[in-house]
Structure 1
């Protein structure tokens, strides 16, 4: 049976419709295309048409119709963003913290997955993959997997928002580029937190929170690349 909406219900729907419009307006302001693709541009234009329809219905007082049009526009934009064809930020995403994680990620294992999952609890995870030359410099050996393949694998792990290769001459340049809110160190990473904080402050990055992950995944027998390498050698190199 049809029921007339009360004034309070109408006010709530109007407020929700306005919020949808405001979110879309901000999303379009920050929208950038990742490459030139006419089909993607047309899809974005379709989202804009739904946005214009949503504003039209809002001005007419048809708030439910306005919300429906807004959700169509949001769906198009979110779909294109998930496919990494465009990028933009919803207003609420601007308050999500950037979390910086760095490592070699040579032979992905459960320890890496655990670190990324923990990082994702703090915000959007930005991963910096060590260059081959730096692995040799700091570990005294070549990585098993080259840097481009390691980058590809880590980029496609659930929870990673963005992954990039580090710099060969200055490993902290990536921090300057990303400007994270948090740097999350793994439990076994050989980095002194206090020295890192001092260097960040020297570079004008004193508001970054450096956190050491205290938990260590020990559920599985091969939770480190070195253990995997040792097992392969013991099984196949005798």
Structure 2
């Protein structure tokens, strides 16, 4: 019998920053094994599409200590990797656009029994610390373009 609990976190993870690390550390603390699903570029429609290629974003997330495995999301159905992993918990980022009740309903329709939780936010530790990919991109454009 396996008593370990499996957690899924997911996101775009375009340009990694301390907010991402906070999210993944918190998600990892909610179970024994953390799988991270990286959104494919073509599936990102709620914000600007990622600058970095899918594989690069996956490889960078996979290299982080809290992460046990990182994989790209399915091209057509975001629930395919969730069904394959069969998690005990799905952890949403504090500012992700997903609706917990909507996800819980979709999971129930597919017979996936897991909790949906939301990670806490993180405030900058010092003046000038950047916790947003969009802000990082804006700053690069302001200072380098």
TM-score above 0.5: yes
2:124 to 207, 218, 225: 218
Runs of 4 or more consecutive aligned structure 1 residues displaced over 4 Å after TM superposition? none
Q: How many Å apart are 1:122 and its aligned residue?
A: 1.3
CA distance in 2, matches of 1:215, 1:204: 30
CA distance in 2, matches of 1:210, 1:127: 15
| 1:34-74 deviation per Cα after TM superposition (whole angstroms, max 9, x unaligned) | xxxxxxxxxxxxxxxxxxxxxxxxxxxxxxxxxxxxxxxxx
1:117 to 21, 25, 40: 25
Equivalence map 1:111-150=2 (5 Å): 111-123=19-31, 124-135=33-44, 137-139=45-47, 141-150=48-57
1:187 aligns with 2:94: yes
Q: How many Å apart are 1:177 and its aligned residue?
A: 1.1
Aligned-residue Cα RMSD (Å) equals: 1.3
With normalisation by structure 2, the TM-score equals: 0.92
With normalisation by structure 1, the TM-score equals: 0.57
1:162 aligns with 2:69: yes
1:95 aligns with 2:3: yes
CA distance in 1, matches of 2:34, 2:125: 23
What runs of 5+ residues in structure 2 fail to find an aligned partner? none
Report SS of the residue matched to 1:175.
helix
What runs of 5+ residues in structure 1 fail to find an aligned partner? 1-90
Greater RCO (Cα-Cα under 8 Å, separation 6 or more)? 2
CA distance in 2, matches of 1:146, 1:185: 22
Partner of 1:108: 16
* Conserved? CA contact 1:110–1:217, under 8 Å: no
CA distance in 1, matches of 2:7, 2:123: 20
- Greater helix share, structure number: 1
